[in-house]
Structure 1
Amino acid sequence: MSRFVFPGVYAPQEDTALLAEALSDEALGPGTRVLDVGTGSGELALTAARRGARVTAVDVSRRAVWTTRLNARLNRLPVRAHRGNLFGPVRGRSFGLVLANPPYVPAPPARHAPRGRSRAWDGGHDGRLVLDRICRDGPALLRPAGVLLLVHSALSDPDRTLDLLRTGGCKAAVVRRRWIGFGPVLRTRREWLRASGLLDAAEEQEELVVIRAERPL
């Protein structure tokens, strides 16, 4: 699959690959409506489109939207990409599958909300600035028996994700786990994470999880 990533756009990494593995387990019938929120370069959106799904991709970054549109054209895949804040561009619609790889890295206190490239990874002081919104609003976008697949770090409290999704009426469970070495962002925040109690002194790896939530029939 041809892929281009504009400078400043989140390129597919280990979390993308882990979410793609979970996606491969889902039955996508022809025409299944799929939403990829926080699409980045469009990697997951294109993967779903290749399986015959009708895919809508959303990202807050203009460059990410341009990248996704370009990659869809290069691969001759029907992906519609929109710029917007999470579920804003698809308000009132429903989907059989929602994919989410949001910003989830805990960040030191700042005067302003994340800007520029950091919007792709900074998740507020506990990593849940965007995660809580997805858990709160995501289930309402699912059709009966629809599925939400969400990837994030174990540093940003998977148990809270499970609790919120279950409170929203979904069956929810962790379906994928993977330990990876610290990337550039976590390496620069290692001491702050330890001082904040989010990371043990001996830890040198991060655990990623994929959570699957299903709306009952």
Structure 2
Amino acid sequence: MQTQNFFLDRPEMRDYQLQGHKISLDLHPDVFPPSAFVVPFAQNIQINPGDRVADIGTGSGILAVMAAQQGAEVWATDTSEASVRNAKENAHKNQVDIQAFAGSFFGPLKGKFDVIIANLPQEILPEDYKLDLGDDLSQTINGGKLGNEILVEFLKIAPEYMHATSKLYINVGSLSDFKSTFQLIGQNYNARMINSYALPNKAFVEKNIAFYQQLNAEGKIHIFQEDGIWKAMVYPFELKLKSA
């Protein structure tokens, strides 16, 4: 497997199988397409018919569509207007209903949710790559100086939208300050790691490998070579609120 690019050069249609359902997606160059870890992540998300589900950072809408196919009532948000349009388009394509809105984190959403899914940016982007992408695209994948700033901010506010039995599903990537993310999770949640896997880094990591090797040497991220390919770890979690 080779390094992966983030964005498409042209529109594509892709099919996925998630929890026994086929999902067909129309994907566009201005929307972050599903990454390699989305399918194994999705297989571990537990959703019951009638659940209130919030999909935060919906992107193409793949996880929101999956939740709706499971019989859930689904709301989705994304900071990208293009992503919100694409999520609605893909819900219609798969003949399910979702409510999608532009906004940071929960945006206009109110109340408590039974299931919250948050597939948030955790990439550390070199400055020249951010300039190449432009503001609109870079904001969809840029996790801040140490990669985990957005996820950490989200983890601090998510309890406001959870009840005693709510489940929160997130990914933590080692191409970020994952150790401090783990620490925050342990302080605020009952956590269950539901999987772990190594994935090839994106092409821009290979092109700027000295930058990332320095962060690796400083212990701020964890990347490693396997068969000549630079990889990072992904750790999916199911989180619940700690009892009072």
Is the structural similarity TM-score above 0.5?
A: yes
Please tell me the residue identity of whatever aligns with 2:238: R
Alignment partners' CA distance in 2, 1:162 and 1:96: 23
Alpha-carbon separation, structure 2, partners of 1:29 and 1:173:
19
**C-alpha displacement at 1:80, in angstroms?**
0.6
Supply the distance in 2 between the matched residues of 1:180 and 1:35 (Cα, whole angstroms): 26
CA distance in 2, matches of 1:5, 1:136: 31
Which residue matches 1:160?
180
Letter in 1 for 2:25: R
Deviations 1:12-42 (A, max 9, x none): 111222321221xx1x222101111000000
Question: Counterpart of 2:73 in structure 1: which amino acid?
Answer: R
1:143-182 matches, cutoff 5 A: 143-168=163-188, 170-182=189-201
Contact 2:101 2:107 in 1 (8 A): no
Taking the TM superposition and a 5 Å limit, the aligned residue runs for 1:94-109 are 94-108=112-126
Q: Cα RMSD over matched residues?
A: 2.2
Q: Percent identity?
A: 25
SS of the residue corresponding to residue 163 of structure 2 reads: strand
Measure the CA separation in 2 of the matches of 1:187 and 1:36.
31
Report the AA paired with residue 120 of structure 2: P
TM-score by length of 1: 0.88
Task: Specify the code of the residue in structure 2 equivalent to 1:51.
Answer: Q
Matched, 1:213 2:235: no
The answer to whether the Cα contact below 8 Å between 2:174 and 2:222 also exists between their aligned partners in 1 is no
Distance 1:161 1:212, change over 3 A: farther
Separation in structure 2 between the aligned mates of residue 102 and residue 14 of structure 1, nearest angstrom: 14
Structure with the higher helix share, 1 or 2 = 1
- Deviations 1:121-143 (Å, cap 9, x if unpaired)? 11112101201111111122112
Q: Give the whole-Å Cα distance in 2 for the aligned partners of 1:199 and 1:145.
A: 33
Distance 1:144 1:200 in 2: 36
1:46 is matched with 65
**How many angstroms apart in 2 are the aligned matches of 1:132 and 1:147?**
17
Letter in 2 for 1:185: F
CA shift in 2, pair 1:202/1:50, >3 Å:
closer
- 1:136 counterpart (131, 142, 156): 156
CA deviations on 1:75-127 (whole Å, 9 max, x unpaired) are 1101111000112221x421011111111012346899x82111221111210
Alignment-derived partner of residue 78 in structure 2: 59
Question: Match of 2:114, as an amino acid?
Answer: G
1:11 has 2:33 as partner = yes
Q: Which runs of 5+ in 2 are unaligned?
A: 1-22
1:83 and 1:201 map into 2 onto residues whose CA distance is 36
Number of residues of Structure 1 aligned to a counterpart in Structure 2: 211
SS in 1 for 2:208: helix
Normalised by the length of structure 2, the TM-score is: 0.79
Structure 1 gaps of 5+ residues are: none
CA deviation map 1:168-195 (0-9, x unaligned) = 3x20132211111122232233221112
Deviation at 1:202, TM superposition (A): 4.5
